[in-house]
Amino acid sequence: MRALRVALLALAMAAAAVPAPAVQPDEILDDPALEARAREISKEIRCLVCRNESIDDSNAGLARDLRLVIRERLVEGDSDTDVRDFLVARYGEYVLLNPPFSLSNALLWLAGPLMLLGGGAVAGVWLWRQRSNRPATPAGDSPLTEAEQAELARLLAPRPPQDP
Amino acid sequence: MITELGHFALILAFAVALFQMSVPLVGADRRWGDWMATAAPAALAQFLLVGISFAALTHAFLTSDFSVKLVAQHSHSAKPTLYKLTGVWGNHEGSMLLWVLILTLFGAMVAAFGRSLPLGLKARALAVQAMIGAAFIAFVLFTSNPFERLSPVPLDGRDLNPLLQDPGLAFHPPFLYLGYVGLSMAFSFAIAALLEGRVDAAWARWVRPWTLAAWIALTFGIALGSYWAYYELGWGGWWFWDPVENASFMPWLLAAALLHSAIVVEKRASLKTWTILLAILAFSFSLIGTFIVRSGVLTSVHAFAVDPERGVFILAILFVAIVGSLGLFAYRAPSMRSEGVFQPFSREGALVYNNLMLAVATGVVFVGTMAPLVREFVDGSKISVGAPFFDLAFTPFMVLLFLALPLGAIMAWKRADLGRVLVRLWWAAAAALAIGGIVWGLQTGSALLAPVGLALATWMVLGVVVELMERAGLPRSSARQALSRLARLPRAEWGKWIAHAGLAVTVAGIAAITAWEKEDIRLLRPGESVPLGFYDVVFESVERLPFGAPFAVEGCEVGQDAWLKGGEGRNFTTELGRFTLLWGGEPISTLCAEKRVYPVTRQPTTEAAIDSNLLRDVYVVLGDQQVNGDAWAVRAYVKPLAVWIWLGSLIMGLGGLVSLTDRRYRVGAAARRAPPAAVPAE
């Protein structure tokens, strides 16, 4: 009995130690079209127990379960959207790696275009304005500051006798 | 004893940093030459002391001194010497010490080679550098001390994370740190310039090589990390938009923007304010990156809350650095005046466009990286922002950038004629469109990625060719004339062409691998094969190698890393799968894929077998043996143009290196040629 427990423990540890690459051969559906859809969906579903990994990439047991669930739903005739909705209903929005466009995610999705518009407007106005911006002095010749003028005057002035 | 000396040296370095951040600054403000002059020796002393400290830690690792807690936690006596060495920075404490070492190294380089720098600028820049140094040495001393002892002394260590026992990942952090810290030089010079109230060509000539060096290091570091992920993680993924990756990618993008805008400051005395701001932002993003990686805040807010000490410390540094520098910027920037005048269509205008795109792209990555955190704070909801989002939200700005790149690169300074530019590039544009069209026509399905990506890559490469031909006077002049003209061109020009061509190569690789990868996952018994496009992969056998077996295996080209480990044995057990790659039924190579299990940590790693050439990689991974049976799970891929991704990055980095050797940056060159020009009126 004790030997059996040791053997089982060793087996469990060995199983835990061996890497299981993401999609396993036994998961793959016979219908290549359905399988391709399953892979596309999997790439956008988060492995909930991993750090920023899709279930398509992950070795975790939970990821495998989700991959199997997706394939089951697809075989039963669900559309891609149905499958995603099913997963969101079960696990929340957290499961989607591609956050859907919604009011609360609007800023996330619009950040790029807004920054481009804002930055582009600022850059455009600046470019337009400085086109005719006449420099006070010829280009490349920085004017001296007041302190530097004073310093220059001091250096050029006849040296007072007490100054070492 | 040596460990305590290292600890003590670090404490002394902290004291020197405190001195260096205050005395030269006061000196520069009061114009006391002898106070300013203390900056350089202080910087050298600080580097020497941190160097001693780092050497002491390295000594502890190499001699496997398990009385040092850090060594006991991250090393093992049976580890190859190479990984005892790289183990020094394969952990939080040691990596922060490396960070400080590189920081002080750069300070020492300014001190040693900055003879032509105006005294005030040099003193101020080194003082700012010392502020960063003091902050991070304090961070190491008070929150992450690598020199803590352990009692009782364990018999052996807990070993380094197996994933880090790989040359790719072992040298990934030093490169990234070189990059982050190189940007601190640009930052220090920006702050010094704000304090001085002056930004001129001499300033830009000093800032650009540091930025360039930082960007080169980041390029190599990111490419190394990406290549490591590709061959190590077992399915050939090479970029995941993970927060930790984004943390290094954002400074890379901003450094790229900065090294373009610094050209405008140097050559045209314009864009000064923006360049200063970019220098501040680029380093701020390096700090944000350090914060993200070191505090664990993005893995989970709760992990952060449980052990907030380090995170809060870096957050404080971040806060002071960003608020302080931006405050100074807001106060001083309005007094900076740009002098260059130019039309919107001009090289200057094109570089502004470049900066806009790179800055917006950085913003998108930033917003995407921080969004889950922000949402959790705002309404407590948990969302994920992963690769699909970034692919969609980030890529358009790169497309906009790449579309304009060849146009901007050949525009004249001040005023360019867009019509003339288009005429010069028409055949490049036509060829790019033709390539895109051919790819579109040949591929099945209607994905835009490959045609657009390859058309853009062609466009950028041919843009370089057009410029090269124009500068050589081709096709009008003879080959000899052309060659002698090209040989006389400044290295900076060559650097630009090489880097832009490298970018094109990377873009082509990304487009091809993403669009055309072929995959097959199935169960195989020895002797069976997988058809894979034109190829067949025959599964020959699996053998088990014991702990301590030599790295080299007969008939395998295993061990891209074997030579690095000398004659030392494998510090793990191995299952080695042999495959024969057939092309049209003829064997062309033997592939050996490994699964390794490290006994101390009980952690497995996979080593994919990759047959690599310029056109494609064949990538084979050995999976699990099936329970009751002799079948194994095997994953096989053909990845077109895969190596182009890293080859292009390498070329980009080389372009940077070539540009760095341009005569105007050579140490002392400017001073020897014309002393008054190198030291502006002060």
* Residue among B16, B102, B15, B87 nearest B51 (CA): B102
Between B570 and B126, name the one with better pLDDT: B126
Distance between CA B217 and CA B204 in Å, rounded?
20
Contacts of B343 in chain A (CB under 8 A): 131
Bond before B162 cis per omega within 30 degrees: no
Between B462 and B266, name the one with better pLDDT: B462
Which SS3 state, helix, strand or coil, does residue B176 take?
A: helix
Pairwise CB contact (< 8 Å): B338 & A97: no
Q: What is the pLDDT of residue A3?
A: 46
Q: How far is A93 from chain B (nearest CA, A)?
A: 6
Residue B344, pLDDT above cutoff 60: yes
Q: How far is A2 from chain B (nearest CA, A)?
A: 23
Tell me the β-bridge partners of A54.
A46
Q: What is the pLDDT of residue A69?
A: 93
Q: How far is B569 from chain A (nearest CA, A)?
A: 21
Between B514 and B11, name the one with better pLDDT: B11
Between A16 and B133, name the one with better pLDDT: B133
Q: What is the mean pLDDT of residues B444-459?
A: 88
Q: What is the DSSP-derived secondary structure letter of residue B164?
A: G
CB B397 within 8 A of CB A116: yes
Instruction: Write out the two tokens for B503.
Output: 């970018």
Q: How far is B388 from chain A (nearest CA, A)?
A: 5
Of A16, A96, A127, the CB nearest to B344: A127
Residue A133, pLDDT above cutoff 80: no
Instruction: Write out the two tokens for B391.
Output: 């692919």
Q: Is A32 on the interface with B (CB under 8 A)?
A: no
* Residue among B323, A155, B467, B673 nearest B665 (CA): B673
Q: What is the mean pLDDT of residues B65-93?
A: 90
Pairwise CB contact (< 8 Å): B386 & A94: no
Q: What is the pLDDT of residue B156?
A: 87
Which SS3 state, helix, strand or coil, does residue B41 take?
A: helix
Where are the strands (E) in B102-146, listed by range? Answer: none
- Confidence category of residue B17, pLDDT binned at 50, 70, 90: very high
Q: What is the mean pLDDT of residues B410-430?
A: 92
CB B129 within 8 A of CB B188: yes
B260 φ/ψ angles, rounded to the nearest 5 degrees: -80, -40
Q: What is the pLDDT of residue B629?
A: 79
- Confidence category of residue B16, pLDDT binned at 50, 70, 90: very high
Q: What is the pLDDT of residue B301?
A: 54
Of B197, B359, B389, the CB nearest to A98: B389
Which SS3 state, helix, strand or coil, does residue B625 take?
A: strand
Contacts of A130 in chain B (CB under 8 A): 270, 338, 341-342
Q: How far is B383 from chain A (nearest CA, A)?
A: 4
Q: What is the pLDDT of residue B213?
A: 93
Q: What is the DSSP-derived secondary structure letter of residue B636?
A: E
Of B359, B624, B635, the CB nearest to A18: B624
Contacts of A119 in chain B (CB under 8 A): 356, 359-360
Q: What is the pLDDT of residue B111?
A: 92
Tell me how far CA of residue B290 lies from CA of B89, B180, B212, in angstroms: 14, 9, 20
Q: What is the pLDDT of residue B679?
A: 37
Instruction: Write out the two tokens for B23.
Output: 């005395």
Of A53, A93, A136, the CB nearest to B381: A93
Residue B161, pLDDT above cutoff 50: yes
- Confidence category of residue A26, pLDDT binned at 50, 70, 90: confident
Which of A26, A28, A97, A126 should one mutate to test binding to chain B, selecting the residue with the greatest count of B CBs within 10 A?
A97
Residue B146, pLDDT above cutoff 70: yes
Q: How far is A34 from chain B (nearest CA, A)?
A: 15
Q: How far is A19 from chain B (nearest CA, A)?
A: 6
Q: Is A94 on the interface with B (CB under 8 A)?
A: yes
Contacts of B269 in chain A (CB under 8 A): 139-140
Pairwise CB contact (< 8 Å): B386 & A54: yes
Q: What is the pLDDT of residue A75?
A: 93
Contacts of A20 in chain B (CB under 8 A): 623-624
For B248-283, how does the pLDDT look when each residue is reduced to its tens digit (9 = 90+)?
999 999 999 999 999 999 888 888 999 999 999 999
Between B493 and A1, name the one with better pLDDT: B493
Q: What is the pLDDT of residue B498?
A: 97
Pairwise CB contact (< 8 Å): B339 & A140: yes
For B106-137, how does the pLDDT look when each residue is reduced to its tens digit (9 = 90+)?
999 999 988 888 889 999 999 999 999 999 99
Of B234, B367, B522, the CB nearest to A21: B234
Q: What is the pLDDT of residue B666?
A: 63
Nearest CA in chain A to B627: A15
Residue A81 CB coordination number (10 Å): 9
Residue A136, pLDDT above cutoff 50: no
- Confidence category of residue B656, pLDDT binned at 50, 70, 90: very high
Q: What is the mean pLDDT of residues B440-466?
A: 89
- Confidence category of residue B563, pLDDT binned at 50, 70, 90: low
Bond before B372 cis per omega within 30 degrees: no
Query: Could you tell me the pTM of the whole model?
Result: 0.89
For A50-106, how does the pLDDT look when each residue is reduced to its tens digit (9 = 90+)?
877 889 888 888 899 999 999 999 999 999 999 999 999 999 999 999 998 888 889
Q: Is A3 on the interface with B (CB under 8 A)?
A: no
Least confident interval from A81-85, B69-73, B196-200, B367-371 = B196-200
Q: What is the pLDDT of residue A139?
A: 43
What is the ipTM for the molecules in this complex?
0.87
- Strands of the B616-625 sheet, one edge to the other: B518-524, B632-640, B616-625, B609-612
Q: How far is A33 from chain B (nearest CA, A)?
A: 13
Pairwise CB contact (< 8 Å): B384 & A97: yes
Interface of A with B in 100-139 (CB under 8 A): 104-105, 107-109, 111-112, 115-116, 119-120, 123-124, 127-128, 130-137, 139
Of A92, A111, A120, the CB nearest to B382: A92
Q: What is the pLDDT of residue A5?
A: 44
- Confidence category of residue A142, pLDDT binned at 50, 70, 90: low
Q: What is the mean pLDDT of residues B205-219?
A: 92
Q: How far is B74 from chain A (nearest CA, A)?
A: 20
Residue B670, pLDDT above cutoff 70: no
Q: What is the mean pLDDT of chain B?
A: 88
Of B363, B389, B633, the CB nearest to A115: B363
Q: What is the mean pLDDT of residues B72-89?
A: 89
Which of B384, B401, B411 should one mutate to test binding to chain A, selecting the residue with the greatest count of A CBs within 10 A?
B384
Interface size A-B, in CB pairs within 8 Å, comes to: 167
Pairwise CB contact (< 8 Å): B388 & A111: no
Q: What is the mean pLDDT of residues B519-540?
A: 91
Residues 6+ apart with CB under 8 A from B118: B202, B679, B680, B682
Interface of A with B in 34-63 (CB under 8 A): 43-44, 46, 51-54, 57
Q: What is the mean pLDDT of residues B668-682?
A: 40
Which SS3 state, helix, strand or coil, does residue B158 take?
A: coil
- Confidence category of residue B206, pLDDT binned at 50, 70, 90: confident
Q: What is the pLDDT of residue B491?
A: 92
Q: What is the pLDDT of residue A137?
A: 47
Q: What is the DSSP-derived secondary structure letter of residue B156?
A: S
